[in-house]
Amino acid sequence: MYRHGLTPDPKPTVNDIARVAGVSLATVDRVLNARPGVRSVTIERVNKAVAELGFVRDAAAASLARRRFLNLLFILPKTSNEFVKALEHQVAEQGIKLLHDRVTLDQHLVPPFDPAAIVKALDDLQAGLVDGVAVFGPDTDAVKEAVHRTRARGIPVVALVADLSDSACDFFVGINNVTAGRTAAELMAGFIGRRGRVLVITGSRLARDHLERRKGFEALMTECHPDIQVVASPEGRDDPDLICKMLPELFEQYPDIRGIYSSAAGNLGLIEHLSTSTPCPKPIVIAHELTPSSREALTSGIFDAIISQDAGHLVRSAVRLLKATSDQSPIDQTQEQIRIDIYLKENMPSL
Amino acid sequence: MYRHGLTPDPKPTVNDIARVAGVSLATVDRVLNARPGVRSVTIERVNKAVAELGFVRDAAAASLARRRFLNLLFILPKTSNEFVKALEHQVAEQGIKLLHDRVTLDQHLVPPFDPAAIVKALDDLQAGLVDGVAVFGPDTDAVKEAVHRTRARGIPVVALVADLSDSACDFFVGINNVTAGRTAAELMAGFIGRRGRVLVITGSRLARDHLERRKGFEALMTECHPDIQVVASPEGRDDPDLICKMLPELFEQYPDIRGIYSSAAGNLGLIEHLSTSTPCPKPIVIAHELTPSSREALTSGIFDAIISQDAGHLVRSAVRLLKATSDQSPIDQTQEQIRIDIYLKENMPSL
DNA sequence: CGCTATTTGAGGTACGCCCCTCATGTCAAC
DNA sequence: GTTGACATGAGGGGCGTACCTCAAATAGCG
C-alpha cells in the first residue's frame, strides 16, 4: 500500500491504459474525455482497463494541460449586513488562494431585494468569460427564468444561502432554513423551561430564508411545546432602527416575554435595545449568524445562542460544486452539506 | 478582473519573473524554491518581481513537475469506538479521492492505551516512504520523545484529536477539550434551569482529552452556576458494560439527578441503561461525538444534545496541514480550526 | 594581481494529460 | 466498385514548474 515516486508501482497513466486496453492513446483520450467517435465496445474495453489498473486521472496534469482558468462569479446583494459582508470577504480572500488552482473568483454586488438587477447580471454574462455563477437572491420567477437561461447557455448556477425553488439551479449551497428555525425553537424551548411566551422578530417578507426560519420555529413549538406561546413582531425589514423602535411597545404589550428569536438580519437593533434597557428577568435571546456584533452580544451575555452557517464553508462549497460541474468530476455530498451551527458563549470559535 | 485562458493578460509565469527581474530562469527557480547559492540582493530582486507581477506558483504544474507522491500515515488506536471508526472510514474514503492529487493515505492501527506501540510505529517509519504522520495517541513522555525523533528525521507530525503537550508536534488538529467540557456545561445549565445535581460519567484516566472535558465541565459549573452540584462517576474505562452496570447504584445514591454528561466513549452503556429503565423525570443527557448510536439516541430522545467534532474535517485538516508543511505553503488558520459542534435533534445532519 | 569560492546563466528533460491534425482502416449504402 | 460516414491509430505540441548539469561570470580575499 505504500507508494512513492522513486519506487516502482507508479500510478498508472493513460499510456498504461492504452497498452492494457489494446487501443491507441487517442482512443483512450476520447473515452476519458467523453469525446464522440468511439464504438461502445471500445469504450467498454477502455473502461475495463481503467478499472483494472485503478487508473485515476492526475488532477494536476489535467488542469495544466487544459490550459484554461475557471472563472466564477458570485452575485451578492449590496448591503451592509454583516453576514453578507462576511461572504464578500470570503470570496475575496479565497479568490486569492484559488489563483494557485487556476480558478478566479469575482463578485458582482447588486441592489438588494431587486430581482431585476439579478436578472440583468445573469443575462449579461458571457459564456466563455464566466464558467459558473453563485447567486444569493430572492426566489422570484424572474430570477428563476434568468437562471434557466444562464444554464441553457451552458453556465452552471448554484443558489447561495437562499434556495431557488423547483431546482432552478444546479445546486443549493446553504442550510435548510425551516430546520434552522426548528433548531432555534428546540434550543429556546430547552432554555426557557418549555413554557411561557416567546417573541419572534421577523425580517423582510421578500426573503424566503427568513420566512422559512420563522415557519420552522413556530411549527416546532406547535408540535412539541404546547405551553409555549409564540408572538411575532411586525415586519422588521432588516432595519436595525425600525426594530429598535418597535421593541419597547412590544415589551409593554407582552411583559412576560421569556425568549426572543431574531430570525432575520435585525440583530443590531435588538442588541442596541437590549444593551440599554434590559427587561427583568432577562429573556433568552437566540439570533442568527455569527458576526462581529452578534459575537460580542454573545460574549457579553445579551445573546444566549446563535444559529449560524459558516461563510467560508459556503463559499468553498459553491466553488467546489461549480468546479466539479465544469470538470464533470464527482461530488462528496457529505462535505458539501452546510451545517446548522449552534454557538454558545463557550464554543464560539476564536477570531 | 475577468480572466480567461483564451484572452490576453495571462497569469505570469516563472519566465516573466526572470525577464522582469533581469535574471535567469535558474536563479528564479533557486529563489522560489529556497535553494542555496543566491546573493541576498538577487533574492530581493526576484521577490520584488514576484510581488510586482502578482506571480502565484501554479499548483498543478508544480505538483506535476515535482513528480512525487505525498505519503501520509494515520496512526489510530485499534478500538471498536464508533468515533475512531468514523476516523478510519474518513481516512480510507479520502485516501481514494486524494489519489487524484498525488497524495496517499495509509492507516496504522495500534493497540489502544499502549504508548509503546505508538513509539514503535513512529520509530519504524522510514523517511522517504512516509512524508507525514497524524497521531491519535496518549500524551505520554515516551510518545512525545518518539514524535520528537520523527520530526528530527524530517517527517512532520500532527497530533490528532488528543493534543500532545509542549508543542511536541507541528500542529494539533482537534478541539480544545476543556472548552468542549465548558460548552457541555453551559448547555446543561441552560437545559436544567441552572440548578440541581448533574452526573459526569468519565472515561479512562489515560485519555487526556476526557480528563480535560470533565475539568472544563466542572470549572464552568463552579464559576457560573453555584446552584448546580456535580457528582462524578467512578472511572468508566470507556467500557459500555461497566458503565451500564454502575449506573443503577449511582441513581440510587443520587435520586435527584437532573442531568448526565457523558464525557467519554461510554455512550453505548449509557444508552443501554437509559433505554431500559428511564428515571423519572428523565434527566437531560449530553454526550460526545455524533455516531450512529448517539445519533439514534438523539432522535429517540434519550440524548438531548451531542457535542461533537467532525471526523471528515479532522482528517482533511490533518492532510492539508501535513501537505502545507511539506510544500512550505501557507496555512489558512480559520479553515483549520476544528469547531465544537452542538447537535440537537433538529440540526443533526442527515446521513 | 591572481586565486578560489561563490553566484549566475543557458539549456535541457521530465511530469501526465489535453487537444489537434492527418492518415488509415472498416463497413454500409448506392 | 465507388463513395462517404465513421472508427481508430500515429504523432506531436504545449501547459508551467522542478531539477539537473555544465560553463561562465563575478565577488571576495590576501
Mean pLDDT, each 10-residue run in order, chain A (351 residues) = 44 93 94 92 94 94 92 95 96 95 96 94 90 94 96 95 91 97 98 96 77 95 97 75 79 91 86 82 94 96 97 97 91 94 97 79
A59 touches chain B (CB under 8 A): yes
B13 touches chain A (CB under 8 A): no
Backbone phi, psi, residue A222, to 5° = -65, -45
**Residue among A97, A130, A341 minimizing CB distance to B339:** A341
Check CB contact under 8 Å for B11 and A101.
no
What's the Å distance between residue A327 CA and nucleotide C19 C1'?
16
Site from B344, B345, B348, B351 to mutate, A interface, most A CB atoms within 10 angstroms? B344
**Residue among A11, A106, A186 minimizing CB distance to B346:** A186
How far off is chain A from B83, nearest CA to CA, in Å?
Answer: 16
Q: How many CA atoms lie within 13 A of B59 on its CB side?
A: 19
For Cα atoms B349, A155, B62, give the angle at the middle one, nearest 5 degrees: 80
pLDDT at B297: 97
**Residue among A284, A342, A350 minimizing CB distance to B347:** A342
* Spatial separation of the C-alpha atoms in residues A4 and A6, rounded to whole Å: 5
CB B5 within 8 A of CB A69: yes
Profile chain B (351 residues) by mean pLDDT over runs of 10 residues.
44 93 94 92 94 94 92 95 96 95 96 94 90 94 96 95 91 97 98 96 77 95 97 75 79 91 86 82 94 96 97 98 91 94 96 78
Return the sign of the alpha-carbon dihedral for residues B38, B42, B44, B47: negative
Check CB contact under 8 Å for B351 and A333.
yes
Contact list, B90 vs chain A (CB under 8 Å): none
* Spatial separation of the C-alpha atoms in residues B291 and A25, rounded to whole Å: 46
Check CB contact under 8 Å for B60 and A102.
yes
Q: How many residues does chain B have?
A: 351
What's the Å distance between residue B150 CA and nucleotide C7 C1'?
35
Check CB contact under 8 Å for B4 and A128.
yes
Footprint of strand C on the protein (CB under 7 A): A 10-11, 13-15, 25-26, 29, 32-33, 55, 57-58, 61-62, 64-66; B 22-27, 30, 36-39, 41-42, 61, 64-65, 67
Q: How many CA atoms lie within 13 A of A7 on its CB side?
A: 11
pLDDT tens string B199-235: 999 876 667 888 899 999 999 999 999 999 999 887 7
What is the SS3 string spanning chain B?
CCCCCCCCCCCCCHHHHHHHHCCCHHHHHHHHCCCCCCCHHHHHHHHHHHHHHCCCCCHHHHHHHCCCCEEEEEEEECCCCHHHHHHHHHHHHHHHHHHHHCEEEEEEEECCCCHHHHHHHHHCCCECCECEEEECCCCCHHHHHHHHHHHHCCCCEEEECCCCCCCCCCEEECCCHHHHHHHHHHHHHHHCCCCEEEEEECCCCCCHHHHHHHHHHHHHHHHHCCCEEEEECCCCCCCHHHHHHHHHHHHHHCCCEEEEEECCCCHHHHHHHHHHCCCCCCCEEEEECCCHHHHHHHHHCCCCEEEECCHHHHHHHHHHHHHHHHHCCCCCHHHHCCCCEEECCCCCCCC
- The rounded radius of gyration (Å) of the Cα atoms in chain A is 25
At residue A2, the 3 state secondary structure works out as: coil
pLDDT at A4: 35
A152 touches chain B (CB under 8 A): no
**Residue among A57, A67, A106 minimizing CB distance to B1:** A106
pLDDT at A238: 65
pLDDT tens string B275-301: 887 777 889 999 999 999 999 999 999
Average pLDDT over all residues of chain A: 91
Comparing CA positions, the residue from A235, A228, A279 lying closest to residue A253 is A279
Helices (H) and strands (E) in chain A, counts: 14, 11
What's the Å distance between residue B15 CA and nucleotide D18 C1'?
14
C16 C1': nearest CA residue: A61
pLDDT at A236: 63
pLDDT at B6: 36
A180 touches chain B (CB under 8 A): yes
* Spatial separation of the C-alpha atoms in residues B180 and B139, rounded to whole Å: 18
Check CB contact under 8 Å for A351 and B344.
no
How does strand B196-201 pair with strand B171-173?
unpaired
CB A42 within 8 A of CB A27: yes
A327 touches chain B (CB under 8 A): no
How does strand B196-201 pair with strand B157-160?
unpaired
pLDDT at A6: 36
Comparing CA positions, the residue from A183, A138, A261, A56 lying closest to residue B97 is A56
How does strand A70-77 pair with strand A341-343?
unpaired
> Global pTM?
0.94
pLDDT at B1: 41
Residue B351: Cβ within 10 Å count: 7
* Spatial separation of the C-alpha atoms in residues A71 and B9, rounded to whole Å: 14
How far off is chain B from A96, nearest CA to CA, in Å?
Answer: 9
Which run of H or E residues covers position A73?
Answer: strand A70-77
pLDDT at B238: 65
- Find how far residue A116's CA is from the centre of its chain: 22
Residue B47: Cβ within 10 Å count: 15
